[in-house]
């Protein structure tokens, strides 16, 4: 059996679909089938693997292929038509070593301007809802809406803005954050550390110095960002 560190890393595309609510930004959240092998029962954004046809159609431009894949998955998983031209990259995540499956994921944001009906596939996706970003965090911290760190951190960055237009304007000029989290155990759970964290290279959660991580305890995620050097890119902010 191959060790996890030798697993192939599959390219993937994911898109956070957002719209303007009456008071704040809303995001579409999809709940994955609890029987799935990966991220079972988690609330996620539409997304999936890039296939060889996507790459060929995009003339080997992997970022464009990831956009095509994300839009295809949005249609398949929740029945929403999204134009790849409307996607703005916010980050790129590589699944940490040691996981049973590894992905190289381009994560995009797209603003929906119409009120198209969400139609889930009832296969991979078993539920869907539009929620204000603040409500998503309230439900997550109440233990009602489990998420993975990339989803959580993307929403944290979006939460800095009051309008969808402001999010899009910021993403148009922003350099996407590229990260491979380093996971280490901590009391009661584990920490996913990002570049800039004092323990990122040494895999020491207690290393003195800056913090740039998410801590996951009993399934609840919290962001810890302290003392980062000037100019260091943060996963919880777009600006």
205 to 109, 162, 211, 219: CA distances (angstroms): 31, 34, 9, 18
Question: For 10-176, which CATH superfamily applies?
Answer: Nucleoside Triphosphate Pyrophosphohydrolase (3.90.79.10)
Q: Which residue has the higher pLDDT, 12 or 231?
A: 12
The predicted pLDDT at position 27 comes to 97
Q: How far apart are CA 172 and CA 239, in angstroms?
A: 11
Domain range list for the chain: 10-176, 181-230
Residue 100 has pLDDT above 60, yes or no: yes
Q: Which residue has the higher pLDDT, 234 or 39?
A: 234
The predicted pLDDT at position 169 comes to 96
Residue percentage of the chain with pLDDT more than 70 = 97
User: What is the pTM for the complete model shown?
Assistant: 0.93
Angle at 93 between CA 220 and CA 30, to 5 degrees: 55
27 to 16, 20, 76, 132, 230: CA distances (angstroms): 7, 9, 18, 6, 30
Answer for the pair 189, 52: CB distance below 8 angstroms, yes or no: no
Residue 16 has pLDDT above 50, yes or no: yes
**Residue appearing with tokens 């060889």:** 52
**Residue appearing with tokens 């600006």:** 239
Q: Which residue has the higher pLDDT, 116 or 181?
A: 181
Q: How far apart are CA 50 and CA 53, in angstroms?
A: 8
């Amino acid at each position: 059996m191959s060790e996890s560190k030798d697993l192939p890393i599959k390219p993937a595309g994911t898109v956070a679909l957002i719209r303007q609510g009456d008071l704040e930004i809303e995001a579409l959240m999809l709940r994955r089938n609890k029987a799935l092998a990966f991220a079972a029962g988690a609330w996620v954004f539409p997304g999936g693997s890039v296939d060889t046809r996507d790459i060929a159609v995009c003339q080997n431009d992997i970022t464009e292929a990831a956009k095509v894949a994300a839009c295809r998955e949005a249609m398949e998983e929740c029945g929403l038509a999204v134009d790849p031209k409307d996607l703005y990259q916010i980050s790129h995540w590589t699944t940490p070593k040691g996981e049973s499956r590894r992905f190289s994921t381009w994560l995009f944001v797209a603003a929906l301007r119409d009120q198209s009906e969400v139609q889930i596939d009832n296969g991979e996706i078993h539920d869907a809802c539009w929620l204000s970003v603040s409500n998503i965090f309230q439900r997550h911290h109440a233990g009602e809406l489990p998420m993975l760190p990339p989803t959580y951190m993307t929403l944290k960055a979006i939460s800095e803005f009051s309008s969808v237009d402001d999010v899009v304007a910021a993403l148009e000029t922003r350099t996407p954050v590229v990260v491979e989290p380093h996971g280490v155990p901590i009391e009661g759970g584990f920490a996913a550390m990002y570049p800039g964290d004092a323990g990122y290279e040494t895999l020491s959660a207690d290393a003195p110095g800056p913090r740039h991580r998410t801590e996951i305890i009993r399934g609840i995620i919290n962001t810890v960002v302290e003392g980062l050097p000037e100019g260091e890119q943060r996963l919880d902010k777009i600006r």
